[in-house]
Amino acid sequence: MKADAVRRFRRRARSGEPSLGLWLTLESASPAECAVALGLDWIVIDAEHGHLDWNDVLQHIRATVRSETVTLVRIAELNGALIKRVLDIGADGVVIPWIETPEQLTQAVRWAHYPPYGRRGIGAERATGWGQCIPGHVQEADSQVLVVPLIESVTAGQNIDPLLDVPGVETFFFGPADYSSAAGYPGMWEGPGVADAILEAARHIRGRGKQCGVMITDNADLERRLEQGFRMLGLGTDVGLMLRSLHESLSLVGRDSRILPGLSPEESAADGSIDRPLERPPESMRPDRAEVLIRPGEGSRLEIAPGIEFETAVGGGIGARDLTTGTVAFAPGAKLPYHTHPFDESMTLLRGEIEVEIEGRVYNLHRLDNITVPRGTAHAAINRSAERPAVLHIAMATANPTRESATPPAFRRAMADDVHGLVGPEYVTRFELARRYSPGNGARFVDYCNADLLPGAAISGGYGLFTPAGRLTAHLHDFDESICIIEGEATCVVEGRRYRPADGATAFAPRGRVHYFVNESETEMAMIWFYAGPYPERIVVAERCATLEGDLWKE
């Protein structure tokens, strides 16, 4: 083992400095060498999931020899034979899954130590210099070996205090996905209540002077976890980081796609071909309407309840089909009573505070949180503030909105701020918890609703953030689109015609119009976009199709 690397790792933990690492799942030892060359503080070799065999594990360990990168191995289960073996081939410590009780953790620590305290056998293997330095290694290993339990179940979180009483353990690592599964939300990273439970357990860990760790989902999540007090931070897995980079590059040229469970490329055309930029738009999508830029104050206004005004941006009045968007302003204390729509509705909080109630489930929305309500679902909203107005961005799957009064439910239940995902018939997006992805260079998007997130949804939409020079490729849609610029200034190019929407202005791109957005300013630009279709599908075309010279519709 590398005792100096372990001592350095522990010094960082005691001082509160972050330690950054990489999770290894690929059989090649090159990612481990890259981690060492970049000066990462630790790696975890994943021998619980995937296909790594003992030789693969050994080669990863060898790639870190004589470095300051701590090498940990995640074993498949709490098993003395596995713990002994990974330590014998030279690992600096073990990561043990599904630890829930102090008895289990005590057993793990004993298997990682030599007698008289532990039960690790002495072997003439790599860790002891093939038997040449047994006395020195035994003493060094007992004082330096790292045992890192994974806290990945509700039971483990509830038992965190007795787990902290077990001697010989200084670092606890959380597994949010398994924790969510144990809480009844399989497939979610942090299901309802899980984020708070993890933060509470982490608070107890830090209170005992110990270190807690977690994997991050992206760079924004790295900053958030640091603020939350996590100090052992996994930057990603080797394959996950590779795929993240591939998605971003493929998005830049309009070639991004999902990986399907069968591992075949995603089919996006009838002939099974993959999306590639088309030389020209399909003739069947020749547009019959012009684009429109709607600035705040230019849309029609309607008082839909006392103190509540809806200003339409996109809708039937400008020729939109199956889509209405706009803003709803709530005066302080204003209440929109229970009602239903014969279409889907999506609400995003832009300013102030708003409480949305759906069939008795009460959600307190924060800025950029979204709730999408399916057709026929009774809901209401109220601005609880007595001083501040509130503003929502609204999207509806119709060009001619209507509503019917509904009877309030007999019971109300306040929903936690970390409830995220499909809850009842509605889909709730907590902006801080939402998955980010990149559909283009310098663009980071969040999906609020689509037919994958909300089965049966007739609209799709979300949030987009563009850094300076960030842009999307030239494209068109088989449905109408609304794009509201909520921060900064955008440049919208429609077949060579340039617009500069800002300060709440909305661009309407009808079906078939080739367009793209770019941030030509020196500050970030953000938008809320919605499609009159169930999936956020783009048809990418050659860039010249978005120029005056390349506009083929004028033929």
Q: Alpha-carbon distance 362 to 377, whole Å?
A: 14
Q: Which amino acid is at 1?
A: M
Distances (CA, A) of 330 to 299, 364, 365: 17, 15, 14
Q: Which amino acid is at 490?
A: A
Find out whether 463 and 445 touch, Cβ atoms under 8 Å. yes
Distances (CA, A) of 60 to 34, 50, 298, 526, 549: 11, 15, 63, 42, 55
Distances (CA, A) of 182 to 199, 201, 420: 16, 16, 16
Strand 211-215 to strand 171-174: parallel, antiparallel, or no bridges (unpaired)? parallel
Residue 477: CB atoms within 10 A of its CB come to 21
Question: What secondary structure letter does DSSP report for 343?
Answer: S
Q: Is the peptide bond before 261 cis (omega within 30 degrees of 0)?
A: no
Q: Alpha-carbon distance 41 to 55, whole Å?
A: 23
DSSP lists the bridge partners of residue 460 as: 531
Question: What secondary structure letter does DSSP report for 316?
Answer: G
Q: Alpha-carbon distance 459 to 447, whole Å?
A: 12
Residue 339 annotated as catalytic: no
User: On the CB side of 77, how many CA atoms lie within 13 Å of its CA?
Assistant: 2
- Of the candidates 480, 525, 522, 487, the residue with the CA atom closest to the CA atom of residue 504: 487
Write down the catalytic residue from 49, 339, 341, 475. 49
DSSP 413-455: EEPPTT--EEETTEEEE-GGGSPPEEEETTEEEEEEE-TTTST
Q: Which amino acid is at 233?
A: L
What residues are labeled active site?
49
